Amino acid sequence: MRGNGALDLLGRSANCATEQEETAAGDSVSDEAARRRVTVHDVARAAGVSLATVDRVLNGRPGVRSATAEKVEEAIKTLGFSRDLNASLMARSRDLSVVFFIPDGSNEFMDALAEAVSRRAGPALSDRMHLSTQRIRALDTGALAAGLDALDPRSCDCAVIVTSEEPDILAAVEAATRRGIAVMTLVSDLPGSNRRHFIGIDNVAAGRTAASLLGRFLPQGGTVAVIAGSLHLRDHLERLEGFRQILSADFSTIDLLGPFEGHDERQETEALVANLLAENPKLSGIYNLGAGNAGLVSALKISGRAGNLRVIAHELTAPTREGLRNGAVDVVLDQNPDGEIREAIAAARALALGTSRTVATDPIEIGIFLRDNLR
């Protein structure tokens, strides 16, 4: 850092030499480097209007004749112009603000989602994104709707919600969208609403995967019990559907017992499993497609049969991790909350560009965890 004035001169002349090298060697590099970024200036020139007009069109400000606006929009399409989100946020000296509405309660998976948000909040800040979380009492659709209604488009660009399908939520999503707030659904979709994007796993595939694994785990056949949280939940129903589908198609020697409802509660699930084990001494497997895994693991341990039957559960949380480690649980299907939040953030940026109505994100893979690949 000191006394390298001479080095600097040396560096310059060296650069001149390598410049030629580069041009000779890597044509593609210099070609693409030369292709300048399309800016608002280019759009203005192409449309034959001033910068101010382009700006008015881009930001939906009044005072532009529709004929002129069309000229501008055509130029944007022709040139393939896309607003530079970073420059835009910088100019407004305003972060892109995303609010996550996540159910509160005893559900550890939801806690994992919330943790993933706060883990990414810091790093996201350096990309000019402000992430915040609001925990909503589970299944309290009124509270969620109120939360959405309270969002001010000037302090919130995008809302991400985890919700079941309810009319008042649909209305709130509609209203938020009209105010200019993009709404995305997470984990469970809201078909028929005008949410801009959905991020979650394919729950039918998850159910199929569970059946496929259990089938291979039990080549001699046997009886497998299925436990759901509630048969009113879309994702649980989908998992059940996939599970049944593969069992009946590929594993006819396996009998299905249930489904039972544990209501995603620790104690209820524990009682349910204890009862199941007592009444079915020859039970060879359990698929818990809902939550309440602490109860599942505890009942297995108390019964003394942990490790003697094949068990598959959902979501990699503290109780399922413990189950994997002590052998009570064989496989955990995980919906990768961290990846979901990552994609939600990416989608929020894409939506902020506002180029297209829909946005593409990487699909969320179903994570399959055994004791041996626990992260």
Partner DNA sequence: CCAATATTGAGGTACGTGCCTCATGACCTA
Partner DNA sequence: TAGGTCATGAGGCACGTACCTCAATATTGG
Stretch that binds DNA, among 16-24, 41-49, 197-205, 244-252 (CB under 7 A): 41-49
Number of residues that bind DNA (CB under 7 A): 34
Q: Of these partners, a copy of itself, DNA, none, which one is at the site of residue 113 (CB under 5 to 8 Å by kind)?
A: none
Q: How far is CA 241 from the centre of its chain?
A: 23
User: Nearest approach, Cβ of 368 to DNA (angstroms)?
Assistant: 43
- Report if residue 357 touches a copy of itself, rule: CB under 8 A: no
Q: Which of residues 87 and 302 has its CB atom nearest to DNA in the complex?
A: 87
**CA 40/CA 50 separation, integer angstroms:** 10
Site string for a copy of itself, 125-164 (x = CB under 8 A): -xxx-x-x-----------------x-x-xx---------
Q: Which of residues 2 and 375 has its CB atom nearest to DNA in the complex?
A: 2
Q: Do 160 and 99 touch, CB atoms closer than 8 A?
A: yes
Query: Could you tell me which of 62, 65, 39 has the C-alpha nearest to residue 51?
Result: 39
With CB under 8 A as the contact rule, the residue among 76, 229, 336, 351 that binds a copy of itself is 336
Q: Of these partners, a copy of itself, DNA, none, which one is at the site of residue 58 (CB under 5 to 8 Å by kind)?
A: DNA
- Report if residue 126 touches DNA, rule: CB under 7 A: no
- Give, as ranges, the residues between 62 and 81 that touch DNA (CB under 7 A): 62-65, 67-69, 81
- Report if residue 85 touches a copy of itself, rule: CB under 8 A: yes
**CA 365/CA 233 separation, integer angstroms:** 21
**What is the DSSP secondary-structure string of 85-122?**
HHHHHHHHT--EEEEEEEEESS-HHHHHHHHHHHHHHH
Q: Of these partners, a copy of itself, DNA, none, which one is at the site of residue 52 (CB under 5 to 8 Å by kind)?
A: DNA
**CA 260/CA 226 separation, integer angstroms:** 6
With CB under 7 A as the contact rule, the residue among 22, 45, 88, 307 that binds DNA is 88
Alpha carbon dihedral 344, 154, 69, 40, in 10-degree steps, equals -70
Stretch that binds DNA, among 31-39, 130-138, 208-216, 239-247 (CB under 7 A): 31-39
- Report if residue 18 touches DNA, rule: CB under 7 A: no
User: Nearest approach, Cβ of 10 to DNA (angstroms)?
Assistant: 14
Q: Give every CB contact of residue 116 below 8 A, 6+ residues apart in sequence.
A: 337, 338, 340, 341, 342
Q: Of these partners, DNA, a copy of itself, none, which one is at the site of residue 91 (CB under 5 to 8 Å by kind)?
A: DNA
Site string for DNA, 330-369 (x = CB under 7 A): ----------------------------------------
User: Nearest approach, Cβ of 5 to DNA (angstroms)?
Assistant: 5
Q: Do 46 and 75 touch, CB atoms closer than 8 A?
A: yes
Listed in sequence order, the DSSP H helices in 179-281 are 203-217, 234-250, 266-279
**CA 11/CA 156 separation, integer angstroms:** 48
Query: Could you tell me which of 229, 218, 205 has the C-alpha nearest to residue 333?
Result: 205
- Report if residue 267 touches a copy of itself, rule: CB under 8 A: no
Stretch that binds DNA, among 44-52, 172-180, 185-193, 197-205 (CB under 7 A): 44-52
Q: Which of residues 187 and 190 has its CB atom nearest to a copy of itself in the complex?
A: 187
With CB under 7 A as the contact rule, the residue among 15, 30, 59, 355 that binds DNA is 59
- Report if residue 27 touches a copy of itself, rule: CB under 8 A: no
- Report if residue 50 touches a copy of itself, rule: CB under 8 A: no
Q: Which of residues 53 and 141 has its CB atom nearest to DNA in the complex?
A: 53
132 bridge partner residues: 99
Give the start-end residues of each E strand in the chain: 96-104, 129-137, 158-161, 182-186, 197-199, 222-228, 254-261, 285-288, 310-314, 331-334, 367-369
Q: Do 59 and 72 touch, CB atoms closer than 8 A?
A: no
Q: Do 345 and 121 touch, CB atoms closer than 8 A?
A: no
What are the residues binding DNA (CB under 7 A)? Answer: 2-3, 5, 36-37, 39-41, 48-53, 55-56, 58-59, 62-65, 67-69, 81, 83-84, 87-88, 90-93
